[in-house]
Copies of this chain bind each other. A is one copy, B any other.
């Protein structure tokens, strides 16, 4: 089994996780958790999204959170990532000194319209404009939502995903995030898509963003790794994705992914004990059970 010797985990809980918890995590909780994650050794943290506080009240204090963690993150050599949906978000991010911006376009037309009330083509046009205007000030990354399955039943063609990857790379994005937005993929599907994409563009260009709705995220991770993909977005505590089904539809848990990597002898640069502390801290602020497998082991004695 040919696997990368080293992989990068990009922690997205402060963005994808915090924005999906039912009860808003207080400012001091967000700051404490983000600082703890920085101590764990992540070199990139998706810390916030700069979005309308009416649409996503969980992110209303995004600017203040970034200001409060900036020095700690800098001291630990952590690059900050933020999600932005529009020019206003980009401007705020640039003001805040964010390092990289994630812009999301759904491969699925129906999902993109449901998500941002635009067709994918309109989003692509907007992304192009944003890069033309702000690309000299800040790095952009493109996230392709529903690349591994559309919740509205739309067929996702590999050729279309490849076209959108090409579009992002042509605009200067250094990497493209391939998202299984609602956890619909399976290892074969993940392998087939990533086989086509890595053959065309190289494995270095891709980050996987996998949700664990059906418990397949680690198997999907393994499938992508066998093709040399070595960057994965994960969320501490398995948060994220769907506030109404805690754990069921969240991101793959960082602690579960980290355990798999370390058990396979793959370097991550992440300290497991510090991550453990971050997850326990998270549990103090999230009023829903943390359902990652490793969390079960944290709470109970090892079972012999």
Binding site for B on A (CB under 8 A): 1, 3, 114, 151-152, 182, 186-189, 191-192, 195, 212-216, 218-219, 221-223, 226, 241-242, 244-245, 247-249, 253, 256, 259-260, 263-265, 291-294, 296-297, 300-304
Pick the residue among B213, B260, B264, B293 that contacts A303 (CB under 8 A): B213
Q: For residue A186, which residues in chain B have a CB less than 8 angstroms away from its CB?
A: 260, 263-264
Is the Cβ of B219 less than 8 Å from the Cβ of A221?
A: yes
Q: Which 9 A-B pairs have the closest CB atoms?
A: A215-B293, A248-B296, A242-B303, A186-B263, A188-B264, A249-B303, A1-B191, A245-B300, A219-B219
Q: A219-B218, A219-B219, A291-B291 are in contact. Are A244 and B303 (CB under 8 A)?
A: yes
This chain: copies in complex: 2
Q: How far is the CA of A216 from the CA of B244 in the complex (A)?
A: 25
With both chains docked as a complex, state the minimum distance between the C-beta of A2 and any C-beta of chain B, in angstroms: 10
With both chains docked as a complex, state the minimum distance between the C-beta of A250 and any C-beta of chain B, in angstroms: 10
Is the Cβ of B215 less than 8 Å from the Cβ of A292?
A: yes
Is the Cβ of A152 less than 8 Å from the Cβ of B304?
A: yes
Is the Cβ of A300 less than 8 Å from the Cβ of B260?
A: no
Q: A191-B1, A223-B1, A303-B182 are in contact. Are A260 and B216 (CB under 8 A)?
A: yes
* Interface SS majority for chain A: loop
Q: How far is the CA of A300 from the CA of B241 in the complex (A)?
A: 14
Is the Cβ of A303 less than 8 Å from the Cβ of B248?
A: yes
Q: A1-B188, A303-B182 are in contact. Are A213 and B293 (CB under 8 A)?
A: yes
Q: For residue A296, which residues in chain B have a CB less than 8 angstroms away from its CB?
A: 245, 247-248
Q: How far is the CA of A152 from the CA of B302 in the complex (A)?
A: 11
Q: For residue A265, which residues in chain B have a CB less than 8 angstroms away from its CB?
A: 188
Q: How far is the CA of A300 from the CA of B212 in the complex (A)?
A: 15
Q: A214-B259, A222-B187 are in contact. Are A304 and B151 (CB under 8 A)?
A: yes
7 contacts between A and B (CB under 8 A): A114-B304, A186-B260, A214-B259, A214-B260, A215-B256, A215-B260, A245-B296
Q: How far is the CA of A3 from the CA of B265 in the complex (A)?
A: 25
Pick the residue among B244, B248, B253, B294 that contacts A293 (CB under 8 A): B248
Is the Cβ of B182 less than 8 Å from the Cβ of A293?
A: no
Q: A213-B293, A303-B182 are in contact. Are A219 and B260 (CB under 8 A)?
A: yes
Q: How far is the CA of A20 from the CA of B214 in the complex (A)?
A: 24
Q: How far is the CA of A242 from the CA of B192 in the complex (A)?
A: 37
Q: How far is the CA of A132 from the CA of B81 in the complex (A)?
A: 67
With both chains docked as a complex, state the minimum distance between the C-beta of A301 and any C-beta of chain B, in angstroms: 8
Is the Cβ of B256 less than 8 Å from the Cβ of A214?
A: yes
Q: For residue A300, which residues in chain B have a CB less than 8 angstroms away from its CB?
A: 244-245, 248
Q: How far is the CA of A3 from the CA of B182 in the complex (A)?
A: 25
